[in-house]
Amino acid sequence: MLAETLEDFALKHTDLLIPNAIKGNERAFSQLMNLWYKRIYNFSYKYFGDHDMAMEVTQSTFISVHKAIKKLKDPSSFRSWVYRIALNKCYEEDRKMKRRSWLSIFQKDNDEEDKMLQLNHHTDDGFYNPDQVVEEKEMEDMVMKCLHEIPEEQRVIVIMKEYEGLKFREIAGSLNITESTAKSRLYYGLKAMKKQLEKRNIYKENAYGN
């Protein structure tokens, strides 16, 4: 219920801020960016599994959003619009990465956010449990690897729906596909994910919390 309340809060304020941002109000745009920065970062991080790449995409996304927001005619389409820009930036960075023969997307830096999460992780009795943190980090890494072993078009849908909570119409709008295509790709994407998880003896309910 709390997550839904926060989601409604963000969407409500987004709708209020967009008209002013379109008119060139920099304060409104700054507030809009603050509302969406973390979500676009999370989306980009799920796509690459890399903090630096996610930061690059997020910053690049909002530079483009700032340049193009005056052309946004329908404020209600902002959500699918901003994810479409972020996805295009992911594609651009992916192409650059392949051209430069960078390291695999599975190799990740230990960024400051991970460190803070570890420092603040406690057991039910209030004490920090390093073994539990390591175990959960290993599980997260394994799920990320499985996610990146399924076809890209399915992976994008899984991230948008399962992690970002977008509606099918928003996903369809972002990717310029039909809702039925989005649903189909999600179905096959989750099926492929389950298969990858089973290979590693990880149950789907453990990975997704279902």
pLDDT at position 107 is 40
Q: Please name the CATH architecture into which domain 148-202 falls.
A: Orthogonal Bundle (1.10)
**φ and ψ at residue 189, rounded to 5 degrees:** -65, -45
Please report the pLDDT score of residue 102 as a whole number: 31
**Domain assignments of the chain as residue spans, ordered by start:** 1-105, 148-202
| Measured distance CA(55)–CA(41) in Å, rounded | 6
- CATH match of 1-105 with 1.10.3720.10: no
Same fold, 1-105 and 148-202: no
The string of pLDDT tens digits covering residues 108-118 is: 444 444 544 44
Q: Which residues contact residue 200 at a Cβ distance below 8 angstroms, ignoring those fewer than 6 apart?
A: 142, 146
53 token code pair:
């790449």
- pTM, full prediction: 0.62
What's the pLDDT score for residue 206?
A: 43
Indicate whether 25 pLDDT > 50.
Answer: yes
Q: Is the pLDDT of residue 156 over 90?
A: yes
